[in-house]
Structure 1
Amino acid sequence: MDISLDNIRMHVLQTAEQGVVNQDTLFCFRQNGRQVSAEYGGCQIRKGYLIGLIVNNKLTFSYCQLQIDDKLDYGTSSCELSRDENNRIILIEHFEWASRPGEKGTNVFVEI
Structure 2
Amino acid sequence: MTAAPTVPSLDGLVMAPVEDQAPGQVGTRTRFTYHEQDGVIWADYAGGDVVRGQLIGTREGDELDFRYVQLKTDGETASGHCVSRIEVLDDGRIRLRETWEWESRPGSGTSVVEQVTPDL
TM-score range, shorter chain: over 0.9
Q: Distance in 2 between matches of 1:3 and 1:75?
A: 26
Indicate the structure (1 or 2) with the bigger Cα radius of gyration: 2
Is contact 1:15-1:107 (8 Å) kept? no
RCO higher in structure (CA 8 A, sep ≥6):
1
Identity among equivalent positions (%) equals: 31
Task: List runs of 5+ in structure 2 lacking aligned partners.
Answer: 1-5
Q: Distance in 1 between matches of 2:19 and 2:101?
A: 16
Match of 1:36 among 41, 44, 49: 41
Whether 1:50 aligns to 2:50 is no
Q: Distance in 2 between matches of 1:3 and 1:36?
A: 13
Whichever residue aligns with residue 95 of structure 2, its letter is: I
Q: Any idea what the Cα deviations from partners look like across 1:54-89, whole Å, max 9, x if unmatched?
A: 111000000000000000000000010001110100
Whether 1:94 aligns to 2:114 is no
Runs (4 or more) in structure 1 with deviation over 6 Å come to: none
Task: Give the TM-score taking structure 1 as reference length.
Answer: 0.93
Whether 1:107 aligns to 2:111 is yes
Number of residue pairs aligned between Structure 1 and Structure 2: 111
Whether 1:59 aligns to 2:49 is no
Q: Distance in 2 between matches of 1:43 and 1:90?
A: 20
Is contact 1:28-1:40 (8 Å) kept? yes
Q: Which residue of 2 aligns with 1:85?
A: 90
Match of 1:14 among 6, 14, 19: 19
> Structure 1 residue 100: deviation in Å?
1.2
Q: Distance in 2 between matches of 1:54 and 1:15?
A: 25
Evaluate the alpha carbon distance shift between residue 19 and residue 77 of structure 1 in structure 2; reply closer, same or farther with a 3 A threshold.
Answer: farther
More deviation, 8-17/32-41: 8-17
Task: List runs of 5+ in structure 1 lacking aligned partners.
Answer: none
Q: Any idea what the Cα deviations from partners look like across 1:4-32, whole Å, max 9, x if unmatched?
A: 11000000003444771111000000001
Is contact 1:77-1:94 (8 Å) kept? yes
